[in-house]
C-alpha cells in the first residue's frame, strides 16, 4: 500500500495567536519575544521578514531592522491552550498522528484513497482547524515525512500542496539545499564550498562523496534530497508527569544536604523536559519522614522548562513543607500538567546570553552525559536519585555527582 503522510504546520503560530486576541494586529509587522533590548525574538510575522528579521534574533537588532514593528511580550499559556485545541481536532479526525512540536503535526492517511481520498480528507481537516480555531495552517502531503515537511514550507502561508507519488525527486530538485531538513548553517556552508546550492546537484552526486564531506549525515542528506528517506511516524501519547525520588541510605536532618539534593533533582528534571520538548505547569515536592509520614506540596506556574524559573519554586516549596524538623527518609520532585513545546517560548524576559547558556549546557549534556555539567549549587550529594526518562524510552538513569 502506498504511503500518504500529511504534515501540518500552524503558520507563524505565536503571531497568529496574538492576532486572534487583538484584530488590530492583522497585517501589521509584529514581533513576539523579549521586550527589552537584550531580549530574543520568539516569533515574527511575515511582514517583518522582508527586512531580514527571523526568530532567534536579538530583539534589539530586529527592532533596528524593522522599527515600525509592534513588539509583544507574549503569553505561553495562551499558545499552549491554542495548540491543545488543534491537537484535539486532529486526534478526533485521524487514527495515528505525531505531534512534533507545539505547532507542528504529522498524520498517516495511508489507505484513505480507497474510501475518501487522502488529499480531500487533508483539505477538510485543514478547513476544520481554521474554522474552529481561527488559526491559519498549511499542509504538505506526500509519500513520506521529509517531502511532506518541505512541501508545507513551499505551500506557506496558509495554503496546501500535494506531491504525487513518483514526483518527489522532481519537486525537490529546483529547491535550495537549505530547504532539506537537517541542513543547518554549518552543513550548508560546507556544501556551498563544494559548489552545491540546489537539491538537484546533490541528486546527481554519488552518495560516497557526501559521506566523505559530511560523515554519516551525508547519507541522510543524500536520501532526503532524493525523496527516499522515510523516518517513522511516532504516535502521539501525551505524557502527564515526570518525577524523581531519593531514598537516603541513612535518615538525615542536614538541611543543606536536603536542599542541594532537591536542587539537583529539579535541575535534571528540567533538562529532561527540554530534551523531550516538554513544558510543565505544576511542580511539587514530597517529603517522607523517618516515621513514614509523607507530605506533598504543589504549585502551579506558567508553562516552562527553564531552570531559573522552576528551581526557585521547588526550593520555596521545600522550605514551606519541611517544618517538623524530624529525620527525613525520602525526598521527591515531580512536574505535572506536561505539554509539548519548546522551552524558549517561556523566556520572553530573558537575555540572548541566557538562551545561549541553556543551549550550550544542554548541548554538552547531550554529547557527554547528563552529569557532565551542573550548577555549583547542585553539587554535594554522591547519589542524587533515580528516575525514568519518559520521552525516549531509555532505561532508568542513575544520577551521580562526578568527583572532580
Query: How many Å apart are CA 338 and CA 239, to the nearest integer?
Result: 6
Strand intervals (E) in 12-77: 30-33, 41-44, 70-72
Name the residue with cell 513544558.
Answer: 279
Q: Give the torsion sign (CA, 164, 166, 171, 176).
A: positive
Which of 18, 47, 104, 208 is an active site residue? 104
**What is the full DSSP assignment across 92-118?**
HH-SSEEEEETTEEEEE-TTGGGTT-H
104 annotated active-site = yes
DSSP state, residue 268: H
* Cell numbers found for residue 161: 500542496
Q: Give the torsion sign (CA, 37, 42, 44, 50).
A: positive
Q: Nearest to residue 345, comparing CAs of 25, 15, 97, 8? A: 15
Q: Nearest to residue 47, comparing CAs of 157, 131, 133, 150? A: 157
Catalytic residue numbers read 104
Amino acid at each position: 500500500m502506498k504511503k500518504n503522510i500529511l504534515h501540518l504546520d500552524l503558520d507563524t503560530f505565536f503571531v497568529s495567536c496574538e492576532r486572534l486576541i487583538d484584530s488590530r494586529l492583522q497585517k501589521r509587522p509584529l514581533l513576539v519575544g523579549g521586550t527589552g533590548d537584550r531580549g530574543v525574538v520568539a516569533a515574527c510575522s511575515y511582514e517583518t521578514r522582508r527586512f531580514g528579521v527571523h526568530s532567534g534574533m536579538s530583539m534589539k537588532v530586529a527592532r533596528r531592522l524593522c522599527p515600525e514593528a509592534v513588539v509583544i511580550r507574549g503569553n505561553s499559556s495562551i499558545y499552549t491552550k491554542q495548540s491543545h485545541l488543534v491537537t484535539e481536532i486532529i486526534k478526533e479526525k485521524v487514527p495515528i498522528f505525531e505531534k512534533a512540536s507545539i505547532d507542528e503535526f504529522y498524520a498517516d492517511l495511508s489507505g484513505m484513497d480507497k474510501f475518501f481520498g487522502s488529499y480531500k480528507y487533508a483539505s477538510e481537516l485543514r478547513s476544520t482547524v481554521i474554522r474552529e480555531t481561527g488559526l491559519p495552517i498549511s499542509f504538505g502531503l506526500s509519500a513520506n515525512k521529509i517531502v511532506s515537511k518541505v512541501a508545507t514550507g513551499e505551500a506557506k502561508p496558509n495554503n496546501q500542496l500535494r506531491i504525487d507519488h513518483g514526483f518527489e525527486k522532481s519537486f525537490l530538485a529546483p529547491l535550495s539545499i537549505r530547504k532539506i531538513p537537517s541542513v543547518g548553517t554549518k552543513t550548508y556552508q560546507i556544501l556551498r564550498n563544494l559548489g552545491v546550492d540546489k537539491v538537484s546537484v546533490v541528486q546527481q552526486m554519488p552518495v560516497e562523496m557526501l559521506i566523505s564531506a559530511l560523515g554519516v549525515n551525508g547519507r541522510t542528506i543524500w536520501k532526503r534530497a532524493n525523496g527516499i528517506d522515510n523516518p517513522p511516524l511516532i504516535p502521539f501519547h501525551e505524557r502527564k508527569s515526570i518525577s524523581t525520588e531519593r531514598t537516603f541510605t541513612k535518615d538525615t536532618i542536614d538541611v543543606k544536604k536536603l536542599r542541594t539534593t532537591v536542587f539537583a533533582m529539579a535541575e535534571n528534571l528540567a533538562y529532561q523536559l527540554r530534551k523531550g520538548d516538554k513544558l510543565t505547569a505544576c511542580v511539587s515536592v514530597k517529603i517522607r519522614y523517618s516515621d513514614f509520614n509523607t507530605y506533598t506540596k504543589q504549585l502551579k506556574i506558567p508553562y516552562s522548562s527553564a531552570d531559573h524559573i522552576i528551581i526557585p519554586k521547588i526550593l520555596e516549596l521545600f522550605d514551606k513543607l519541611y517544618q517538623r524538623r524530624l529525620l527525613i527518609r525520602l525526598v521527591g520532585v515531580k512536574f505535572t500538567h506536561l505539554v509539548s513545546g519548546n522551552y524558549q517560548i517561556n523566556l520572553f524576559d530573558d537575555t540572548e546570553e541566557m538562551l545561549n547558556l541553556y543551549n550550550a549546557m544542554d548541548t554538552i549534556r547531550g554529547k557527554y552525559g547528563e552529569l557532565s555539567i551542573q550548577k555549583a549549587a547542585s553539587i554535594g550529594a554522591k547519589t542524587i536519585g533515580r528516575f525514568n526518562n519518559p520521552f525516549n524510552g531509555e532505561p532508568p538513569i542513575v544520577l551521580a555527582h562526578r568527583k572532580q
